[in-house]
Structures are given as structure tokens and as C-alpha cells.
Chain A
Amino acid sequence: MKPLVKIENLTCAYDKIPVLENVNLEVNERDFLGVIGPNGGGKTTLLKAILGLLKPVKGKIAFGHDLQGRKKPIGYLPQVRHIDKKFPITVFDVVLSGSIMNGIYRPSAEERQKAEQLLVEMGILDIRHKAIGELSGGQMQRVFLCRALLSDPKLLILDEPDTFVDNRFEGELYEKLRALNKEIAIILVSHDVGTISTYVKTIACVNKSLHYHPSNIITQEQLEGYNCPIQVITHGEVPHTVLPYHHH
């Protein structure tokens, strides 16, 4: 089976300063990859390279059949902090912006229906006429998730969906992702290693270079071995925690 995304010897740089070097990675169908690493380590850069927002200095990114030509785009949930909260746009329009547009475009009846159905699934249909700036962090993340899912993506990429989000929604979000993962591959960037390792299947540590870890159990020692200076913290009563207990 051909991988959905195959990254070979990828090097990316901003102003000639390399942020990622010689990265190799494969994402296959129904993968659930957690991307962790320190701030400024290149996590978002990796996502942007995959999304085609950033031209690599070196190396290549190949896409499998399902993503080739990409008229069905990759679903993408950006960091909410980049969103202009005063922008005059309604929730429903934000969700509809996840559709595929060619030339003169009006959202079709099916697209509207799909958008409504997604809003129902996320439990936020009642706020569909609100302006984006009137929402809480959790509601906003739900809206962006609806947008990312509108065109039935084969691959879903999420950049720190757990920022500005209450604990209750965080749990719901990860359960939702687990359900989605039955059909689509997911790449999830997070700073919350403890929580994501409950849900992801594999882990990639990104700190200029990338270390692939083919399971969701990762120890502090392994992280240090990967030159990935982050702390593994378990959150008190997280159910099904797969992280080994450790002292600080």
C-alpha cells in the first residue's frame, strides 16, 4: 500500500536559517501521528511543508493516490491565535469555507446540509449565525474542525487544537478524533504530550531533526535520547494513561 504522505530528506528554512533538516516521514492510511517537540523546534513548519504553504529548500514530499492532484484537500485546523477575532464572518460561513471552490462558486445544497450535520455532531448548531469573535476557545476549535471536515478529507492535520480549550472539550475533541481515525489519517501537533499519548498511535519528536517513534509509549529517557527537551507530564487522573509513572 502506498503511503498517503511520504517525506524524503526534507529541509526547510526561514531566511536561510534551517528549521528542519533531513526529515524523513511516512504517513499511512488510518495513522494517528502525534507530533511533539519544543517551541520553535519546527512542528508547525513540518505541517506547513506538508500543506504546501512552505517551499522546501531540499527534499521532496510525495502524496498517495488519494491526495494526488488534491481537489479533495487535506483537512487543516490552524492555530486559533492566528485568527482575527473581529473579522465580520458568521460561524456557518466559516464552516462553508472548507468547501472546494472552482471559478464562480455558490455553496450547494449538499454542502450546506453537510455543514449543518457537522455542526450538529459537534453540538454547536445553535451558534451558527453568531460572529466568529463571539465564541469561546472551545467553540471556535469545533467550528474549525467542522471546516476541516467539510470536504471529506483523507488526512486531517491539527496544529495545537488543545490551546484555549477547557478540559471537558479537550476530552471530547480527542474522542471525536479517535472516532474519525477509523476512516482518516490524522497528524496532531500538541504541546500536551501526556494527553495525546493516550490517543495517538505513533509519535514524532521534532526538534530541527525528526525522530519517529513507532508506538505511543514514550519515556523521558527516550525523549532525551531523541534530543527532544520536553517534559512528559501525566495529568493526575487521565484514564487509560499509557505513560509509565515517573518521578520529577
Chain B
Amino acid sequence: MNAILELFNYDFFQKAFLATVFASISCGIIGSYIVARRIVFISGGITHASFGGIGLAFLLGFNPLLGAVLFAVMSAMGIQFFTKVAEIREDSSIAIWWSLGMALGIIFVFLTPGYTPNLMSYLFGNILTVTSSELWWMFMLNLVIVLFFTLFLRQILYIAFDEEYARTAGLPVDLYNYLIMTLIALTVVLNIRVVGIILILSLLTIPQASANLFTKDFKKLIVLSSMFAFIGTMIGLFISYFLDIPSGAAIIFTLVLMFGLLRVVKIFV
């Protein structure tokens, strides 16, 4: 126990702790929405497409997260465009953007002169190396998401549940959808440092699956999955530190284990 408490004296661990709090809240909220709306696959596409932006940033020498945001938003819009205007089936257009982003990323990284040391931390995440400026961005995003979902929860919920009915009631459905798509893209990108591109879907779906065992109420689902995300990430973080294994993988392993345990608990309660 003392060993755990001592960890909080370290600057890197304090940052990791804050990153965990921010990631849990943003992924708890956005993940609940994604799961409820069944758009997990779209979110996966956006996440992986953002790798193209990271590659571009390496090549041209600017902030990789900025490149990731650029590609994430672009692919979110691109998927919509391919589906609605170009009339490509939705799952196919998701797959196209998913692989295109990854392919561009690999080309850009390959063309970048010299060694790119951080690449692995973007693919698989490393919560222990999160910087202060990244934390600030995560804080701002959390503020926006929490405010948006608190003030407009009803509209968001009703549109997600029955878009057509919401339209007949005169709600600006398209505006809400675009805003939330943008928030999804930003959430994905800013949490890349925590678990990485390959693994981010886990933070958006596993805590929600756990929470869904105990509630079918959207509001409670958000709160409960944020809590589960926090607990799982913290335990994963300790495991990662003490066993010296990659943090992203340790976090996901813990989240899945937690889900399994809770599923068993559910049988008895």
C-alpha cells in the first residue's frame, strides 16, 4: 500500500493520475453515446484514420495530436460524405477511411528522415509519458463534453433514441449529430496517449458493457461507465508500473477482467 501511495509523489504519476480522470470522464460519456447509438465501428474508423495525421505531423514536424485531430475530423466527415453522397454502403466507407488513414500514416512515417521514437506510444499508448500541455487539452475537452451533455442531455438522448421523432418535434437533429461527431473525433484523439490508437475502442466500450449489466438508464450508464473506466485504468496503471509491462495493454486487460468478474457477480445479485 505504501508503495502505491509513494507513487503519487512522482510528477509523472500525478500526471498519469489526472490523465486517467480525464480519460474516464470523456470516454465514459462519449463511449455511452457510441454504444447506445451502435456507432462503435465508425469510431474505430475515425480512430485509425487519425494515424495518417500523426504520420503527416512527423513528416512535416508539427504537433502529432494536431495532425490526428485534422485526420479524425476529416474522416468523420468523409465517412458521412461517402455514405450519403457517393452512396457507398456505410460499413464499406468506414473500412475505406480506416485503412486509408493507416496507409497514409505508414507512408508518411516511412518518408520521415531518421528514427521516430514516439510512434509506438501513439499506437499502443503510454499514459506514463503524458505531458502538461496534453493534460490541459484533455481538461478543456472534458469541460466541453461535460457541459454539452449536462445542458443538452435530453435532446442528445432523444435524438439518439429516435431521430425521426426528434425531427418531427423540430429538433435540429443534423446540428446535434455533427457536433457529437466532432466531440467523438476529439475524444478519440486526445485519449490516444492513454491507451493508443489500436486500443482506444476498449475505453469506449468495455466500461459501458460493464455498466450496462447494472443499468439501462442512459444517465446512470454514463456515470457508472466513467467510474468503471477510472477503476480499471487505475488498477491497470499499477499493474503496468509494478510488473513493468506496457500501460495500454495492462489497462485493457484489467477492463476486460473487470467485466468478466462483474458479469459473474451479476448472476448472484
**Bound CA–CA A133/B218 (angstroms):** 13
Within 8 Å of chain B (Cβ to Cβ): is A5? no
Give the CA-CA distance A107 to B36 in the complex, in Å: 22
Q: Are A104 and B152 in contact (CB under 8 A)?
A: yes
Q: Count A interface residues, CB 8 Å.
A: 32
| Bound-state Cα–Cα, A83 to B158, Å | 12
Task: Among B38, B161, B170, point to the contact of A70 (Cβ < 8 A).
Answer: B170
**How distant is the Cα of A34 from the Cα of B137 in the complex, in angstroms?**
57
Q: In the complex the two chains form, is B162's CB within 8 Å of A97's CB?
A: yes
Q: Which of chain A's residues have a CB closer than 8 A to the CB of B217? A: 88-90, 93, 131
Report yes or no: B167 in contact with A89, Cβ–Cβ below 8 A. Answer: no
Instruction: State whether A78 touches B164 (Cβ < 8 A).
Output: yes
A88 touches B154 (CB 8 A): no
- B residues at A contact (CB < 8 Å): 32, 36, 38, 151-152, 154-155, 157-158, 160-162, 164-171, 212, 215-218, 221
Summed over the interface, the residue pairs from A and B with CB atoms below 8 Å come to a total of: 75
Chain A residues numbered 111-151 whose CB sits less than 8 Å from any CB in chain B:
130-131, 133-134, 147
> How far does the alpha carbon of A101 sit from the alpha carbon of B215 in the complex, in Å?
26
Q: Is A105 an interface residue (CB 8 A)?
A: yes
> When A89-B161, A89-B218, A97-B161 are in contact, do A76 and B154 touch as well, CB less than 8 Å?
no
8 contacts between A and B (CB under 8 A): A51-B167, A53-B164, A53-B167, A74-B168, A84-B38, A89-B157, A98-B169, A100-B169
Kindly list chain B residues whose C-beta atoms are within 8 Å of the C-beta of A130.
216
**Given A70-B170, A105-B155: A90 touches B216 (CB 8 Å cut-off):** yes
**How close is A14's CB to chain B, nearest CB, in angstroms?**
13
- Take A78-B164, A93-B218 as given contacts and tell me if A101 and B171 are in contact as well, using a CB distance cutoff of 8 Å: yes
Q: Which of B38, B160, B165 has the most CB of A within 10 A?
A: B165
A239 to B199, CA, bound (A): 63
Chain B residues with Cβ under 8 A from A94's Cβ?
Answer: 161
Chain A: minimal CB distance from B224 (Å): 11
B167 contacts A52, C-beta separation under 8 Å: yes
Closest to B154 in A: A105
Residues of A near B160 (CB, < 8 A) are 87
In the complex, which residues of chain B have a beta carbon less than 8 angstroms from the beta carbon of A76?
A: 165, 168
